[in-house]
Amino acid sequence: MHDKNTVKNILKNQGALTIDMCEAFVRGEPKILYADDCAVFLIHGCGVYMLWAENTDSAKNALRVVKTVPHLCVVHGMPAYNAYVQTYGKQHEDGFCTQYCWSKREKFAVPSDFTFRPMRMDEIPFIQEHYHLSNNTEYLKWRISENELHGAVSPGGNIMGFIGSHSDGSIGMLEVLPEYRRRGIGTALEYYQMNRHMERGWTPYGQVFLDNPESHSLQGKVGMDFSKDIICWMGDD
């Protein structure tokens, strides 16, 4: 088993693919379950398992250290994905994603004509109406209580779009209402949230489904680094 600093260097060498695993050490103290030169398996501070492996056999060796099926695991790269499926079966998966990150550490200039505010508990039905990837009311309550879900506000006081941070630290939940699209609101929201993360000493990162060309275009416009292999969230549901 490698020590913590060696593990961090191994993950850093994988670039954007494992930025979430690297950030787990910045934002908390993950539990390292298994680590060698070809595989790292850990539990994030929020309780999510994370696996990276250079090859399928190494990934399988890592998975053997747990006696029960991980309730939720982020697999990084096809070798890790294949090993997980071969070990536990298909299970539930959210779909393949590209992982993006901003490693330059330079803050963004958010246009001054945009204003932002935290979303409120009474706005959860509004969020669920427009953001369809999570209808989990308790999860949204948690993110709002942690001040991790913010909206862009029109001059008339209407929410034009919103963005948040997930429990693992990734930026997500980005949604711009249809009537406000093509006005630069999505970019402004992303700049705003990324600046908030950098102010805390974090490297901003997030995931985009492969079949979401609009979001991929936005990340390209921002100039984000991106993973050349996939990541995927696996779990019992």
Tens of pLDDT, residues 61-85: 999 999 999 999 999 999 999 999 9
Half-sphere exposure of 100 (CA within 13 A, CB side): 20
Q: Are 121 and 141 in contact (CB under 8 A)?
A: yes
Distance of CA 61 to the CA centre of its chain: 26
- Residues 78, 80: Cα–Cα separation, whole Å: 5
Identify the band that residue 1 occupies on the pLDDT scale cut at 50, 70 and 90: low
Q: Look at residue 221 in the predicted model and tell me its pLDDT.
A: 85
Count of positions (residues) in the chain: 237
Q: Are 35 and 57 in contact (CB under 8 A)?
A: no
Percent of the chain with pLDDT over 90: 79
Half-sphere exposure of 232 (CA within 13 A, CB side): 21
For the cut 90, the answer to whether the pLDDT of residue 41 exceeds it is yes
Whether the model pTM is above 0.85 = yes
Q: Are 103 and 225 in contact (CB under 8 A)?
A: yes
